[in-house]
Chain A
């Protein structure tokens, strides 16, 4: 039984310019103790997908009729999209599901000490007394490697350095022992040396707490070092999914291939940098057929610009949404 199961997720936003599709036809599962990496560029719908798991998208959000998100954290399955009252949503916010954001400074209230914020959520989500909550919060700060945690407990977020703030946020997110952790670009704002420390810390914590992680990033190197499985998103759709080794060593979708080719690699300084041609289209103007056909080198007119490719399996757990994926029989062209 997966920890979280997402089926046919479609997310649209009501705007002045009409209904905008941000996510379409997205399905994935995360098992306990598993790290799923969600890769994609800006505008691909990664963050919107992640926020829907905690119902954090705004009031103008419209979910698809057949979309279903089921969370099973041990107390029976919860139909996340069916939650109506704010009070019910507390089950999926901060209790069994926690989130780490990209910008740690924006995630702490500036005028309340870090300790107070940690205690507050423990009082909401657990039966701890205030004294127990404080002891637990200090213990968590120590666990993520913050020196002098009892002093840091009484400080404000601005008194922390960038790396320390990110650690404190991880400590806060983990203090309620969530079953599922959503990490949205948790290392993007950090220097490489600090990024390496945070990645190590997160890996240790997965082993220790056995939680499932949805790890969102645009950095394939970070994914390679953290994730068990990967889903690659483009313009709101998953175009390829598989184990981290399948996707990185044997990418089948032209977009995944393009992302890997565009990366400057230290081991081959003579390799030319090959950009993916063109720009990501505006969500107001989604291409018909395959969403990637406007930038694709192998797209065929009359087919790719008309028919949405189905997810097809290329082997154990590896699937790709492309009519002409290498190693698969070409999909039949429409008459």
Chain B
């Protein structure tokens, strides 16, 4: 593991049993299928894909909140290291302090019966991080200030807050145990545009000031383009492309990435119409197509795509793609129209 690496997954799979098939063989749903990725310390790593692509499951697996069926996940923040396979007991509790989650819906994530102070303080008490009330209060106040919540806010209940303020409370709660790694799962999807920018700026500020590494899960490519250093595109549980953000958006090497980009509605009413739209929908992960999983919707697909699985390989430095024609075709022509 590289010294800069915060968390690394090698050939990670998460499988859920689907019951037995007709002949008694066990059937599985591969929610995450043989994924390898590494997130650098203090960096913003974006994970994009359609619903059902396995984004959330992958995020949970890195937090040891979804079962790891195969592969390895290792974490090292410079002080402590963990091997997530077989992690349990005291070590798992220790990992929980260092790896946290921010949820999508700030209305569902906060208990309506607790004051904001208690919500933020709860992890400290449960994890036994602080020794007495004074220490807890001091820590809560420090983190609340970072998230631009004042003392008056701490006394109130969540119902008194708007969506953006609630998300800041959720962020404060995630930060209070002093994590080095945070999974932000669609953390701005439920917010209005005018507020969304505020929460994104806060997350970036936290990344910079506290050096926390983020896995930023989102279906919104324009948000990912703005905040992430690196991006991985997930399709049916597999990474189809990953690269530094600018490189990925400037020159996608997988037709799926290119199609996702061209599907974003342009703000210019006279923007030239993109050549071709993606047909159909994401196939069921319980019954994925053979060969390249994307071939059923790919306009470049040829005979070999239906039978042979394309390897995820390096196309340019730091830029990996899983398409038989990644080196050969230029998929950007359709994407350029919308960018």
Contact = CB atoms under 8 A, between A and B. Distances in A.
A195 B221 CA distance: 14
B196 interface: yes
Contact of A196 (B196, B198, B263): B263
Nearest to B219: A191
B140 interface: no
B201 A275 contact: yes
Contact of B194 (A162, A199, A219, A262): A262
A181 B265 CA distance: 21
A225 B263 CA distance: 11
A194 interface: yes
Given A224-B266, A276-B194, A193 B260 contact: yes
Interface string B159-198: 0001111000000000000000000000000001111111
Nearest to A190: B51
A260 interface: yes
A310 interface: no
Contact of B266 (A193, A221, A279): A221
Contact of B263 (A193, A245, A269): A193
B201 to A, nearest CB: 6
Contacts of A218: 192-193
Contacts of A191: 50-51, 219, 282
A192 B219 contact: yes
Interface string A184-221: 00000001111111011000000000000000001111
B193 A263 contact: yes
Contacts of A196: 262-263, 265, 277-278
Interface residues of A, number: 41
Interface stretch (B30-38, B120-128, B222-230): B222-230
B339 interface: yes
Interface centre among B192, B260, B339 (most CB of A within 10 A): B192
Interface in B69-127: none
Interface string B303-339: 0000000000000000000000000000000000011
B281 interface: yes
B10 interface: no
A225 B269 contact: yes
Contacts of A326: none
Given A224-B266, A269-B226, A258 B194 contact: yes
Interface centre among B195, B223, B339 (most CB of A within 10 A): B195
B198 A225 contact: no
B162 to A, nearest CB: 4
A245 B269 CA distance: 7
A196 B249 CA distance: 19
Contacts of A245: 269-270
A263 B268 CA distance: 13
A279 B249 contact: no
A159 to B, nearest CB: 12
A171 B268 CA distance: 29
Contacts of A279: 162, 164-165, 195
B267 interface: yes
Contact of B277 (A193, A219, A266): A193
A117 to B, nearest CB: 22
A90 B47 CA distance: 47
A247 to B, nearest CB: 10
A164 interface: yes
Contact of B268 (A194, A199, A224, A264): A224
A307 B233 CA distance: 51
Interface in B249-304: 249, 259-271, 277-279, 281-282
Interface string B220-248: 11110110000000000000000001100
Contacts of B265: 195-196, 199, 219, 221-222, 224-225
B197 A220 contact: no
A267 B339 contact: yes
Given A195-B263, A266-B261, 18 more contacts: A163-B281, A196-B262, A196-B277, A197-B278, A219-B265, A221-B265, A221-B267, A224-B271, A225-B266, A244-B269, A245-B269, A262-B193, A264-B197, A264-B220, A266-B249, A266-B264, A266-B338, A269-B246
19 contacts: A41-B193, A42-B192, A162-B51, A191-B282, A193-B259, A194-B281, A220-B267, A262-B193, A262-B197, A263-B193, A264-B223, A266-B249, A266-B261, A266-B264, A269-B226, A269-B246, A275-B197, A276-B194, A279-B195
Interface of B: 50-51, 162-165, 192-198, 200-201, 219-223, 225-226, 245-246, 249, 259-271, 277-279, 281-282, 338-339
Interface of A: 41-42, 161-164, 191-197, 199-200, 218-222, 224-225, 244-245, 248, 258-260, 262-267, 269, 273-276, 279-280
